[in-house]
């Protein structure tokens, strides 16, 4: 995968305050992450990720360990 641009941590990072990756393949990754724009939650504006309020994803991040199974239901 070729990195086009790195976005540093901070208030405008589209991944919010935490990233929990759970699926990946050749050139793609899907995960659970926060957002600097919670007003957009519930709208299809990501590339397939699960977006949450930053405070909520921080609580989950602090509780899961590497290797925790993730099941996503439609």
| Cα torsion angle, 20, 25, 27, 28, sign | negative
Contacts 24+ apart (CB under 8 A), 7-12: 11/36, 12/36
- Residue of 2, 24, 33, 37 with catalytic role: 33
The answer to whether 2 is a known catalytic residue is no
Set 2, 24, 37, 49: catalytic member: 49
Say which residue the tokens 């957002």 belong to. Answer: 35
User: What positions carry a catalytic annotation?
Assistant: 33, 49
């Amino acid at each position: 995968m070729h990195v086009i641009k790195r976005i540093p941590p901070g208030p405008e990072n589209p991944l919010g305050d935490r990233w929990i990756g759970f699926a990946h393949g050749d050139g793609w990754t899907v995960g659970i992450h926060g957002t600097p724009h919670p007003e957009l939650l519930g709208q299809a504006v990501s590339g397939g990720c699960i977006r949450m309020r930053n405070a909520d994803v921080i609580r989950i991040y602090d509780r899961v360990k590497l290797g925790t199974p993730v099941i996503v239901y439609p």
